[in-house]
Amino acid sequence: MPIHKGYLLCPCCGSAAKVMEAEGKRMGKLYVVCPECGTDQSHLPKRQAYIRDHMVETIDQLTEQTEPEMVSDIVSDDVSEPEPKNEKGVSGWAIGGVIFLSLFGLGALARKVA
């Protein structure tokens, strides 16, 4: 039977998660049981250190430790709107077409005169 060691905030969803100590071949290793995300049984040294550093003994300590911060949406006046595209603008293909037809027309006119 696993041993209940304390609580910690789930790093994924922020819910209060239970910290348990494993028994058997992983005896002494800590793991997290989150009501939202499920069980995280990673036994790598960094994960074990994270659990030990952030674990508290009671759920009351967890809520005291994590008073909700008042975060306001930051609105900046420096936000620039994208410049609207000129709907009546002439594309490069249209200009190229006019030049081609002009040259073609002048060439035909030159042949007719000659």
Q: Is residue 93 part of a domain?
A: no
- If residue 84 lies in a helix (H) or strand (E), which one and from where to where? none
Domain membership flag for residue 16: yes
Residues 6/55, Cβ–Cβ less than 8 Å: yes
- Give me the domain span that covers residue 37: 3-65
Residue 113 lies in a domain: no
Q: Is the pLDDT of residue 111 over 80?
A: no
- What pLDDT is stored for residue 52 in this prediction? 92
Token pair 């819910």 is found at 15
Q: What is the mean pLDDT of the chain?
A: 81
What average pLDDT does this structure show over 59-87?
66
Domain-embedded: residue 60:
yes
Reply yes or no on whether the pLDDT at 28 is more than 90: no
For residue 16, give the DSSP letter. E
98 occurs within a structural domain: no
Rounded to whole angstroms, the Cα distance separating 83 from 113 reads: 50
Helix H or strand E encompassing 17: strand 16-21
80 in a structural domain: no
